[in-house]
Amino acid sequence: MADPTPPVVLEVEAPAATETTVRTLGRDAWHDLVRKPTFIISAVLFLFFVTIAVVPSLFTSLTPTDCDLALSRQGPSSAAWFGYDNNGCDVYTHTIYGARASIMVGVLTALGVLILGGVAGTVAGFYGKATDTLVSRLGDIFFGIPLLLGALIVLVSFPGNAETPELVTISKVVLALAVLGWPQIMRITRSSVLQVRSADYVQAARALGAGGARMILKHVVPNSIAPVIVVATIAIGGYIAAEATLSFLGVGLQPPVVSWGLAISRAQDYVRTSPHMLLFPASALSLCVLAFIMLGDAIRDALDPKLR
């Protein structure tokens, strides 16, 4: 930089350098994504749900505990768009506040299986041999336990009560689902890594001096992660539904936690007389699951350079 000529050089080089900003997979994927209606719709829905989950008070002035038994099971009206449930609580407020627990369970579980299954699958696929056998058989053992049955057993064995903090209840459900759900991601990661591992470019990277960690991080993972991300994003929807199922059965989240699953569970006795109690939380659940599945799909398309 002590060179007296840099100003001239900079002037000449600057425009050329900006023209060819370094393209990366992420940047290109983003460039594609923002031009896709599926992505825009699902991303808007996703952001909408996340906002609801983070700051529910933006959307309603009531809290889930503002209930009046006199209003029990009243239908939708101009005062309460979604009506009231059996306890006289505002269904709209409960649906808004229910998003947090449901989405937290879904996203945290997906992250959990992504870490557990992703690492296990990459290690199994890349190193092969005995490591692969060990990890795969371990996965098979967990895979053999039905998700709901296993989660039921775990959650029934460690019951909570009304005093258990909300976060503890949620983490219990997340752990139960993640521990039972990781083999699915492990299998997909493993088969994806197996395909990539023997690819010429991994051999070429090795021949040009790349080490194990670099080969895994720069060559194997970026080329094998696309299907894993898609399955994990789609699975978020599945986990939200699983949480609802567990809560519906009475072992998932427990009151005073507010979640869609709990609301649906409470609605089951009144489906014929007060269908609005089921309709609104269930619609929110479906819409949220749909948003995650669509998002997963859009990301898959964007992450594959060959579809570009």
Q: Which is nearer to other proteins, 159 or 211 (CB)?
A: 211
Instruction: Please pick, from the candidates 20, 61, 78, 157, the single residue that binds other proteins as defined by CB under 8 A.
Output: 20
* Residue span binding other proteins (CB under 8 A) among the ranges 11-19, 161-169, 170-178, 186-194: 11-19
- Taking CB under 8 A as the rule, does residue 222 contact other proteins? yes
- Taking CB under 8 A as the rule, does residue 15 contact other proteins? no
* Residue span binding other proteins (CB under 8 A) among the ranges 2-10, 21-29, 88-96, 270-278: 21-29
- Taking CB under 8 A as the rule, does residue 205 contact other proteins? yes
Q: How far is the CB of 1 from other proteins (least distance, A)?
A: 13
Rounded-to-integer distance, Cα 80 and Cα 65, Å: 15
Rounded-to-integer distance, Cα 89 and Cα 285, Å: 19
Q: Which is nearer to other proteins, 223 or 259 (CB)?
A: 223
Q: Which residues contact 8 (CB under 8 A, 6 or more apart)?
A: none
For the chain, give me the number of helices (H) and strands (E)? 12, 0
- Taking CB under 8 A as the rule, does residue 1 contact other proteins? no
Instruction: Please pick, from the candidates 45, 111, 138, 210, the single residue that binds other proteins as defined by CB under 8 A.
Output: 210
DSSP-based three-state secondary structure for 35? coil
- Taking CB under 8 A as the rule, does residue 306 contact other proteins? yes
Instruction: Please pick, from the candidates 14, 24, 38, 58, the single residue that binds other proteins as defined by CB under 8 A.
Output: 24
CA angle 59, 65, 67 (to 5 degrees): 100
Q: Which residues contact 109 (CB under 8 A, 6 or more apart)?
A: 173, 174, 177, 178, 181, 235, 236, 239, 242, 243
* Residue span binding other proteins (CB under 8 A) among the ranges 39-47, 93-101, 201-209, 232-240: 201-209
Q: How far is the CB of 224 from other proteins (least distance, A)?
A: 10
- Taking CB under 8 A as the rule, does residue 70 contact other proteins? no
Instruction: Please pick, from the candidates 14, 30, 55, 218, the single residue that binds other proteins as defined by CB under 8 A.
Output: 218
Residue 266: what residue type?
Answer: R
Other CB atoms within 10 A of residue 242 CB: 24
Per residue in 29-46, is it b (16+ CB within 10 Å) or e — as a string?
Answer: beebbeebeebeebbebb
Reading phi first (left if > 0) and then psi (alpha if -120 to 50, else beta), residue 209 is in: left
Q: Which is nearer to other proteins, 25 or 62 (CB)?
A: 25
Residue 90: what residue type?
Answer: D
What are 93's two structure tokens?
Answer: 């407020």
- Taking CB under 8 A as the rule, does residue 30 contact other proteins? no
Q: How far is the CB of 295 from other proteins (least distance, A)?
A: 20
Could you tell me which of 177, 169, 196, 189 has the C-alpha nearest to residue 238?
177
* Residue span binding other proteins (CB under 8 A) among the ranges 18-26, 83-91, 133-141, 162-170: 18-26
Q: How far is the CB of 34 from other proteins (least distance, A)?
A: 18
Q: How far is the CB of 213 from other proteins (least distance, A)?
A: 11
